[in-house]
Chain A
Amino acid sequence: MAPKTTAAERTRRLLAILPQLTPGAEIPLASLAASVGATPAELAADITTLSMCGVPPFDPYDLVDVFIDGDTVFVGMALPSLSRPVRLTPAEARALVAALQTAGFAPGDPLLARLATVASAETDTDALVDRIRTAAGTDGLGDVYATIVSAVDEAESVDITYFSASSGTTRTRRIQPLRVFNSRGAWYVQALDVSLAEERTFRLDRMREAIGTGEYFARTAASGPAGEAGFQMSAADGRATVRFDDAAGLEDRDWPGATMTRTADGGAEAQVPYAGTGWLARRVAAAMGGAEVTAPAEMRDAVRTLAGEMLRELYSE
């Protein structure tokens, strides 16, 4: 059962939406509710309360002129007062900074600096970023994130210069971005890879750059921005059997899609899906002899070849 909303929370969200209630506005109830993290039913109750609020002498012209008809919130006359936006509290500023950090807006970013100007005087932005961090190593990611979400919104094709962990190479490809999602703090975009004519998932922090092309694509029902997000792999996926000598410290979450079985000798055996041999070869080689691909042969070859090449490079320097 969802926790009961407190009076304090109701007051807070009502005061937050007041600036949106401009005279003559017609706002979908669901979107207004979503904008303050409430359900439509909760906000409908809030709006009913709000319609009874006002200033002395509490004549009809002194009340907040707002009502709901069907699924729409209608605003009549201007608010009796408090129509200007209220400053962000320290907790609200912290939430914005923490959220934007995940998308690559690091301390010192001009956007964060401007948001600080609408925060309350109690907000110490410098201290805030020393106490809360939701990402590190996000150099240039903010620009990539902004380009990708705008492109999803506009259904615009984007040229991305992308480092593929599967192949270990960086190349430019054109995508039609469909939706963006976060997994374990990393942002991904599910998109149609135009040259492959296949849906793939691209990690935003592996994009060197993303440039809108000015070309727009038609969305289909299946490719609309809403909908289930998920990791897409190519149709040519294989599965490798990987043997780990020591399962201590081995975490299933680090092997997405794998089926992991602990063995009696303290090791583990995993069936690991792969698309391209590069990524898995690196993961197995990184165990530095503590893991072995037992099948298929192409994956064993890939691991051996990678390690051999790295050895040669190491001694050629």
Chain B
Amino acid sequence: MSDATERQVNLALYLSSTRTPVSAETIHAEVFGYPAGQDEDTFLRMFERDKKQLRACGLMLEVVDLEGVPGYRLDADASYAGELELSESERTTLRAVAAALASDPGFPFGSDLAIAVAKLGGALREAGGAAASAPGALTDEAPSAQGATAAVLAEAVASRKRVRFGYTNASGEMRDRELEPYGVYFQDGRWYAVGRDTSREETRTFAVRRMRGVEVNSRKPAAPDFEAPSDFSVADHMLLPFQYGPGTVECELRFSAEEAWRAPRLVGGQGTLEMQPAGSALWRVSAASLPRLARWIIENGPGITPVSPPELRETLAEGLRKVVARHGA
């Protein structure tokens, strides 16, 4: 007796080889793997599962009327990819990224990444890059657990299903949470989920490493539980360390002309960055904590100076005076 894989591959090959729609009855008779003596209901259930699996592989079937019964054929436009032109550099890049991340347990989409690159196999043929990457560690804390949980959350985001989990906050208190997850992001080796906390009726960010026992709502799996706000972008929630907390102060900082090239990478998409005629850059950004922003300025310097508000300059100056005093000769 053949196994499910053999039957499903046979079905894919058969549908790919037939130019005209075929009935379920014909498929039952022609495709090796469906038991000959199988009753119709059992066959149809098996056929439905196989169609779903082919869809999960990227093979789309269309159904047409075939003299009063459903006729099935492969939707070639929806299933087959067109020619993908990639430069040598792009091919190498794809190979290198995949080699680094596909087997990294902290990357939630490793198996999907491997299959995606395999599907691009023709476009990537003869490309180098795979050997350029050495094993690394996308996450340094419980990578397998974070990667697996982030994968579950990303699926819940895509299918718009609620999730429940136990969450330990920074004070060590644990309680159950229910979240409508809008997005997932990765920052500094850690995964985070953003969504509506249903008990607090507000959008909040949760660290994946603090979650335990994440469960996706299993009721009506094909029906979404919620709609994310139309203007939601998870990038808006990737805050810098000084942006966490209640209240905000609008601040301006200047990057010197020598250091302005580093500005777009340091600001992480937060605030607005305006290049100045003399080559410097002016950054307008909201801060929840001026002391933490002052620390950020010191840590990421040189060439970053506060412009406004005056309290930011004073906070920075006061902190620096303490440093000098403490490290006196």
Stretch at the interface among A68-76, A78-86, A192-200, A259-267: A78-86
B179 is an interface residue with CB less than 8 A from chain A: no
Of the 9-residue stretches B63-71, B185-193, B217-225, which lies at the interface with chain A? B185-193
A289 to chain B, nearest CB (A): 3
Say yes or no for B166: interface residue by CB 8 A criterion: no
| B-chain residues with CB within 8 Å of residue A166 when the two chains form the complex | none
A residues near B291, Cβ cutoff 8 Å: 288
Q: Is the CB of A180 within 8 A of B132?
A: yes
Checking B2, B136, B234, B327 against A293 with a beta-carbon cut-off of 8 angstroms, the contacting residue is B327
Contact between chains at A310 and B133 (CB < 8 Å): no
Is A7 engaged at the interface, CB distance under 8 Å to the other chain? yes
Which of B92, B265, B302 makes the CB contact (< 8 A) with A153?
B92
Flag if B327 contacts A304 (CB, 8 Å): yes
* Complex CA distance for A8 and B115, rounded to whole angstroms: 13
Q: Given the complex, which residues of B lie within 8 Å of A49, measured CB to CB?
A: 3, 5-6, 9
A217 contacts chain B at the CB level, 8 A cutoff: no
Given the complex, which residues of A lie within 8 Å of B107, measured CB to CB? 98-99
Residues B234 and A170 in contact, CB atoms below 8 Å apart: no
Whether, in the assembled complex, B4 has its beta carbon less than 8 Å from a beta carbon of chain A, the answer is yes
Complex Cα distance, B238 from A117, in Å, reads: 28
Check A149/B96 contact, CB under 8 A, given A15-B9, A121-B78: yes
Q: Tell whether A287 is near chain B: CB-to-CB under 8 Å.
A: yes
Interface string of A301-317 (1 = CB under 8 A from B): 10110011011011101
CA of A64 to CA of B9, assembled, Å: 10
Kindly provide the distance from the CB of B36 to the nearest chain A CB, expressed in whole angstroms: 14
Chain B interfacial positions (CB closer than 8 Å to A): 2-6, 8-10, 12-14, 16-17, 30-32, 53-54, 56-60, 78-82, 84-86, 88-90, 92-94, 96-98, 100-104, 107-123, 125, 128-141, 154, 157-158, 182-189, 228, 232-235, 238, 258-259, 261-262, 264-270, 291, 294-296, 298-299, 301-302, 305-306, 313, 316-329
Binding site for B on A (CB under 8 A): 7-17, 19-20, 34-37, 46, 49-50, 52-56, 58, 64, 79-82, 84-96, 98-100, 102-103, 111, 114-115, 117-118, 120-121, 129-142, 145-147, 149-150, 152-154, 163, 168, 170, 179-185, 188, 190, 205-206, 208, 225-229, 253, 282-289, 292-293, 300-301, 303-304, 307-308, 310-311, 313-315, 317
